[in-house]
Amino acid sequence: MVFQGLAEKLQDTFRKLKGKGKLSEADVGEAMREVRLALLEADVNFKVVKDFVARVKERAIGQEVMQSLTPGQHVVKIVYEEMTNLMGGTQSRLQVSPKPPTILMLVGLQGSGKTTTCGKLANLLRKQGRRPLLVAADIYRPAAIKQLQVLGAQLDIPVFSMGQINPVDIVRGSLEFAFSNNRDLVIIDTAGRLHINQELMDELKAVKDTIQPHEILLVVDSMTGQDAVNVAQSFHEQLELNGVILTKLDGDTRGGAAISVKAVTGCPIKFVGVGEKLDAIEPFFPDRMASRILGMGDVLSLIEKAQSSLDIEKARELEKKIRKQEFTLEDFLEQISQVKSMGPLDQIMGMIPGLGGAKELKKMEKDFDPKELEKVEAIISSMTPAERRNPEIINGSRRKRIASGSGSRVQDINRLLKQFEDIRKMMKQLTDAAHGKKKKGLKLPFMP
pLDDT block averages, 10 residues each, the chain of length 448: 72 78 81 89 88 89 65 82 90 89 92 92 93 93 90 95 91 94 94 83 91 93 80 89 87 71 89 87 88 66 55 64 71 72 58 50 51 82 89 91 91 88 72 54 38
Nearest one of 249, 268, 345, 307 to 127, comparing CA atoms:
307
Q: What's the fold here for domain 303-350+369-434? A: 434 Repressor (Amino-terminal Domain) (1.10.260)
CA 424 – CA 438 distance, rounded (Å) = 16
Whole-Å CA distances, 250 to 39, 334, 338, 388, 420: 18, 26, 20, 36, 32
Q: Is there a contact between 412 and 382 (Cβ–Cβ < 8 Å)?
A: no
Is the link from the previous residue into 158 a cis peptide, with omega within 30 of 0? no
The class of domain 4-86 in CATH terms is: mainly alpha
Domain positions in the chain: 4-86, 102-284, 303-350+369-434
- Beta partners for 281? 273
> Coil, strand or helix: which one is 298?
coil
Tell me the CATH number for domain 102-284: 3.40.50.300
pLDDT for 261: 86
Q: Rounded to 10 degrees, what is the CA torsion of 45, 46, 48, 50? A: 160
Residue type at 342 in one-letter notation: M
Q: Is there a contact between 226 and 258 (Cβ–Cβ < 8 Å)?
A: no
As a whole number of Å, the CA-based R_g of the chain is 26
pLDDT for 358: 47
pLDDT for 343: 60
pLDDT for 171: 94
Contacts of 383 (CB under 8 A, 6+ apart): 329, 394, 402
pLDDT for 383: 92
Q: φ and ψ at 221, to 5 degrees? A: -85, 115
pLDDT for 181: 93
